[in-house]
Amino acid sequence: MKPLFLATSNPHKLREIQEILELLGLAHAFRLQARAPEVEETGVTFLENAWIKARQVYQATGRPVIAEDTGLVVESLDGAPGLFSARFAGSPTDHRQNLNKLLALLQGRGEEARRARFVCYAVYLDDERRVWARGEVQGLIAQEARGNRGFGYDPIFLYPPLGRTFGELAPVLKNRRSHRYHAFRRLFQKLGMLP
C-alpha cells in the first residue's frame, strides 16, 4: 500500500477521510497517515489554505500528500463564518463558542436566513501532480444544537433530506453525503482513480 500523508492536526478529519476512502473503495490503495502541518493558515481562500497545508507537509516528507480546508458559509451573514470558521468566536479550539455565536446571530430568523452550506476544498500533491477539487453540502442552521456526533459545527447543521443535524447522524451517514465526501470523490476522479 502506498503511503499517503494527510496534512491535518484534526483527528476527526483523519477518521472521516479514512472512512470516505473506504466508502469510495480506495482504502486498500493507500496507507493514510496524518501529519500536522507546521504553518499558519494565512491564505485568503479555502483553496489557498489547503495548498499551504499540503505544501508544507510535502516539503517535510517528499511523499504524496492530501489536504483540505473547510468552512461553513451562511449567505444571510455575508458568508460568515466562512474563512474564519475555526476562530469565529475568537478561539480556534472552542467549537461550542463558535456555534453558540452563530445560533445567537440567527436567533428569531426564519428558514431563508438560516440557509447554510459546508464548503470543502481538497488537494493532492506529489512529484508530478497538483490537483484540487471542491465539494459542498447544503443545509440549514438549526434553532439549537442537537447531537454530539461529528465535530465542529455539526450539531447545528441541519441536513434537510434526513431531518437531522450532522451531529445526530451516524458517521457513515454524514460521510456519504458530506462536503468532504464530495470533494474527495471529485479529487480521486480527477486523479483517474474513480470513474
**Residues carrying an active site annotation:** 69
Q: Which is nearer to ligand IMP, 64 or 71 (CB)?
A: 71
Asked if 85 interacts with ligand IMP (CB under 6 A), we say: yes
DSSP letters of 34-45? EE---S----SS
Q: Please tell me the count of residues contacting ligand IMP according to CB under 6 A.
A: 17
Tabulate helix, strand, coil % of the chain (nearest 5): 40, 25, 35
Contact 49, 41 (CB under 8 A): yes
Task: Identify the CA nearest to 53 among candidates 64, 32, 69.
Answer: 69
Give the one residue of 56, 70, 165, 175 binding ligand IMP; rule: CB under 6 A: 70
Asked if 155 interacts with ligand IMP (CB under 6 A), we say: no
Q: Which is nearer to ligand IMP, 26 or 156 (CB)?
A: 156
Could you tell me the strand order of the sheet in which 130-141 lies?
A: 30-35, 2-7, 65-73, 115-125, 130-141, 157-159, 164-165
Q: Which is nearer to ligand IMP, 89 or 113 (CB)?
A: 89
Asked if 84 interacts with ligand IMP (CB under 6 A), we say: no
Task: Identify the CA nearest to 117 among candidates 164, 179, 167.
Answer: 179
Asked if 154 interacts with ligand IMP (CB under 6 A), we say: yes
Q: Which is nearer to ligand IMP, 9 or 33 (CB)?
A: 9
Interface positions with ligand IMP (CB under 6 A): 10, 69-72, 85-86, 95, 98, 118, 150-154, 178, 180
